[in-house]
């Protein structure tokens, strides 16, 4: 038969819990409150520690991770005739490295450039996208607001103005962007869109005009950091409304000036990814 745990005090036996109750009843309110709080802490501490460790583990699994991506010469990734060659190269990369890359870059311009190995001017090839999806590779589209007439080499200022930030904001390429968005919606998987990258540099036409930089190849069409932001917001809003699976990637060039780069930032509500 089980025995009752007792204390022996002055030769009088009391059950443990009865003795504790008698002692507790004799204490003042402060002591009683201290006892209750201490007991609650003792009881709850294992639960709190367990929750903390669980949260730490969950946080560790959701931390940002580096994604390794690869690319090929623009024409290879863009031309329909080279799709099988591109897929074979991706598989060869996996054989050498041991895993597929996280992303694959594809260049797309607003209009045809006429270069034999230049970017395409339409949504990526369906066969290539299917192959990327089967290999769990996310396509990264370098969408560049350039096309016929923009260059000093064979172009003219009137044609170039169509590609200016202000013109894009006003809707000069809405048909192109809507077609792109509809194709992305049909595709259905995530597409990372690196629109008008390295905008704070001095070499691309969508940047402000630099006579000794982009001015050697392009016309001055009045681009500024402010109208770049307006163009970005226009592109983001138009595409996101139709194809929310497209994630816009804001990608400035490296700079030592935070103030300089901040002028080009459209706001976190218009950006899905940030990187270089």
Examine the domain organization and report whether 108 and 47 are in the same domain.
no
Residue 140 CA to residue 2 CA, distance in Å, equals: 73
Which tokens in the block code for residue 179? Answer: 């077609």
Phi, then psi, of 19 in degrees rounded to 5: -65, -40
Residue 44 CA to residue 21 CA, distance in Å, equals: 22
Q: Pick the closest to residue 200 from 276, 92, 148 (CA basis).
A: 276
Examine the domain organization and report whether 37 and 126 are in the same domain.
no
pLDDT at 2 over 50: no
pLDDT at 96 over 90: yes
Q: What's the pLDDT score for residue 26?
A: 77
Which tokens in the block code for residue 193? Answer: 């869109």
Domain count of the fold of the chain: 2
pLDDT, tens digit, for every residue of 168-225?
A: 999 999 999 999 999 999 999 999 999 999 999 999 999 999 999 999 999 999 999 9
Specify the pTM. Answer: 0.74
Q: Which of 38, 61, 84 is the last residue of a domain?
A: 61
pLDDT, tens digit, for every residue of 256-270?
A: 677 888 999 999 999
**Three-state secondary-structure class, residue 255:** coil
Q: Pick the closest to residue 222 from 205, 202, 198 (CA basis).
A: 205
What stretch of H or E contains 138?
strand 138-144
Residue-range definition of the domain harbouring residue 205: 69-274
Examine the domain organization and report whether 190 and 217 are in the same domain.
yes
**Three-state secondary-structure class, residue 145:** coil
Region of poorest pLDDT, from 39-43, 110-114, 129-133, 186-190 = 39-43
List the beta bridge partners of residue 103. 69, 138
Examine the domain organization and report whether 143 and 243 are in the same domain.
yes
Examine the domain organization and report whether 128 and 245 are in the same domain.
yes
CA distances from 38 to 23, 24, 26, 33 (A): 16, 14, 18, 9
Question: Residue 1 falls within a domain, yes or no?
Answer: no
pLDDT, tens digit, for every residue of 5-61?
A: 343 444 445 566 677 777 777 778 778 778 787 877 787 777 777 776 776 666 555
**Three-state secondary-structure class, residue 106:** strand
Q: What's the whole-number mean pLDDT along residues 112-128?
A: 81
Q: What's the pLDDT score for residue 31?
A: 80
Examine the domain organization and report whether 191 and 94 are in the same domain.
yes
Residue 251 confidence class, pLDDT cut points 50, 70, 90: very high
Q: What's the whole-number mean pLDDT along residues 108-117?
A: 79
Phi, then psi, of 110 in degrees rounded to 5: -70, -25
Examine the domain organization and report whether 167 and 219 are in the same domain.
yes
Examine the domain organization and report whether 31 and 168 are in the same domain.
no
Which tokens in the block code for residue 22? Answer: 């008698």
Rg (alpha carbons) of the chain, rounded to whole number: 32
Examine the domain organization and report whether 41 and 98 are in the same domain.
no
pLDDT at 118 over 80: no
Q: What's the pLDDT score for residue 17?
A: 65
pLDDT at 159 over 80: yes
């Amino acid at each position: 038969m089980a025995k009752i745990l007792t204390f022996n005090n002055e030769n009088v036996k009391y059950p443990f819990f009865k003795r504790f109750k008698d002692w507790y009843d004799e204490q003042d309110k402060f002591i009683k409150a201290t006892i209750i709080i201490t007991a609650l802490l003792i009881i709850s501490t294992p639960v709190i520690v367990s929750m903390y460790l669980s949260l730490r583990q969950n946080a560790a699994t959701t931390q940002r991770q580096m994604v390794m991506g690869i690319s090929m010469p623009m024409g290879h990734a863009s031309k329909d005739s080279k799709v099988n060659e591109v897929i074979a190269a991706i598989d060869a990369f996996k054989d050498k490295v041991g895993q597929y890359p996280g992303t694959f870059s594809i260049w797309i311009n607003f209009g045809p450039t006429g270069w034999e190995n230049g970017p395409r001017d339409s949504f990526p090839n369906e066969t290539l996208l299917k192959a990327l999806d089967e290999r769990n590779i996310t396509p990264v589209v370098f969408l560049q607001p350039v096309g016929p007439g923009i260059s000093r080499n064979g172009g003219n200022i009137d044609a170039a103005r169509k590609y200016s930030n202000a013109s894009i904001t006003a809707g000069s390429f809405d048909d192109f962007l809507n077609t792109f968005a509809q194709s992305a919606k049909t595709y259905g998987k995530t597409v990372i869109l690196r629109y008008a990258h390295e905008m704070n540099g001095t070499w691309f036409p969508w940047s402000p005009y630099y006579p000794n930089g982009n001015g050697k190849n392009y016309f001055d069409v009045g681009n500024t950091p402010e109208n770049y932001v307006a163009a970005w917001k226009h592109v983001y809003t138009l595409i996101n409304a139709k194809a929310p699976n497209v994630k816009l990637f804001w990608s400035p060039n490296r700079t030592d000036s935070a103030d300089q780069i901040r002028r080009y930032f459209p706001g976190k509500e218009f950006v899905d990814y940030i990187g270089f």
